[in-house]
Amino acid sequence: MTAPVGIIMGSKSDWPTMQHAADMLDTLGVTYEVKVVSAHRTPDLLFDYAKSAQGRGIKVIIAGAGGAAHLPGMAASQTSLPVLGVPVKSRALNGIDSLLSIAQMPGGVAVGTLAIGDAGAKNAGLLAAQILATSDNELLARIDAFRNQQTETVLAQPDPRNAD
């Protein structure tokens, strides 16, 4: 069976960021596929990927890219699946270019944008799961459990001065 989430990224060098999306999906028991798809160096692959994703059983696409980050928006131009965008921290401008390139889409083609960097990738995995959970109560229960555990972890260590 095809995985319901497709994680794509513009370059192999984006993987240290994007693996946080994969790790979150692992935590929540959601399967996924991972692929390097470059908007600028492999545009035809990008279009094939985005056009075929729904037919292959993909439900949500997570796309990460940095700098002039066109991957999420261009994926969204070729599919009606929800596309989530992760702005990867860029070398010169720390990802503010990535964030604006992904978030500032024109009306009519949407990308749900997450935070710059690791936190954003982690949350892309989480939001993809939340989207799938709108029709999957078992997954919803696992998300609730993850969130509860996350809350408990904070509550269990109220004093920041203590060692872990």
CB 10 within 8 A of CB 64: yes
161 is in an annotated binding site: no
Query: What is the distance between the alpha carbons of residues 43 and 104, in angstroms, rounded to a whole number?
Result: 21
159 annotated to a ligand binding site: no
Across the strands, what pairs with 128? none
In whole angstroms, the minimum distance from the beta carbon of 143 to a second copy comes to 5
Kindly state the smallest distance separating residue 57's Cβ from a second copy, in Å.
11
Residue 123: CB minimum distance to a second copy, A: 4
Task: Look up residue 120 and give its two tokens.
Answer: 């954003």
Report the SS3 class of residue 110: coil
CA distance 96 to 134: 31
User: Is 44 annotated as ligand-binding?
Assistant: no
Q: Which residues are annotated as a binding site for substrate?
A: 11, 14, 41
